[in-house]
Every structure is written in C-alpha cells, then in structure tokens.
Amino acid sequence: MEYPQDLRYSEEHEWVRVEGTRATIGITDFAQDALGDVVFVQLPDAGLAVIRSAGCAEVESTKSVSEIYAPLSGTVVEVNAALEDAPELVNAEPYGQGWIFVVEMSDPGELDALMDAAGYRALVEG
C-alpha cells in the first residue's frame, strides 16, 4: 500500500492534495484495492456545492458500489472526465491519473480534521 506523505486523508478513505485554495480529491490505494476492479465512476457535477462528510459521487466496482464523501466543503470546480472512458485509472493510479474531482475550498480550516499519512496508515493497518 502507498501512503503519499504530501496528502491528507479522511476516515472514509479519500485523499486530498491541496494547491492554494483548491483541493484535488480521490480514493486511496487501500480503498481501490478493497473495491476491486472499478468499472464506473459517477462524477459530481462541476459547480456542485459539497459539504464535508456528505456523499457527492460513487465508484462502482465488480464487487460493490461505494459512496464518495466530500472530505472538505466547497464548490466542485473540475472533474476527471477521463474516468468516464477509463474508470480503471482509479485502480491503476489512485494518487495520479485516477483523481476524481477538484474543490474550491470554502473553509480551509477543515483540513485540520484530516489525517496525515502516518495517521491514515495507522487507521488501515491498525
């Protein structure tokens, strides 16, 4: 399993990469491994206002359908349209080309509620 040090993590297995006031969000290596082969990603709509811990997208695999929860509040400003034709990117590159959406954060203070890599690793391996 990979736990990139430059990311923050939610208890629901989403990762967050912050660049200025924007946060790129995807699911972790642990989550994609648990899901199995991803066959469809329901992306949130650009412009959607998301609330921390509320569902905003779905990932469907050969095993199940899993809700994606917004780890931060804000407005969706970009979605990874490549996942429409290649949902398997979530499995192949969960921290790279498999990102799901980007949020313009409304409350950057919410980052403090997310785990660092060591905390997330302890959660999944503990």
Annotate 29-51 with DSSP letters as a single string.
Answer: HHHHHHH-SEEEEEPPPTT-EE-
Listed in sequence order, the residues at least 6 apart from 76 whose beta carbon sits closer than 8 Å to its beta carbon are 44, 45, 46, 47, 48, 49, 50, 56, 101, 102, 103
CA 76 to chain centre: 13
pLDDT of 122 reads: 97
Angle (CA) 114-25-6 rounded to 5° is 60
pTM: 0.95
pLDDT of 74 reads: 98
pLDDT of 61 reads: 96
* Residue 112, amino acid: D
pLDDT of 39 reads: 97
Between CA 44 and CA 77 the distance in angstroms is 10
Between CA 125 and CA 113 the distance in angstroms is 20
Average pLDDT, consecutive stretches of 10 residues, N- to C-terminus, the chain (126 residues): 96 97 98 96 97 97 95 98 98 97 97 97 95
Q: For the chain, which domains are there?
A: 8-106 (2.40.50.100)
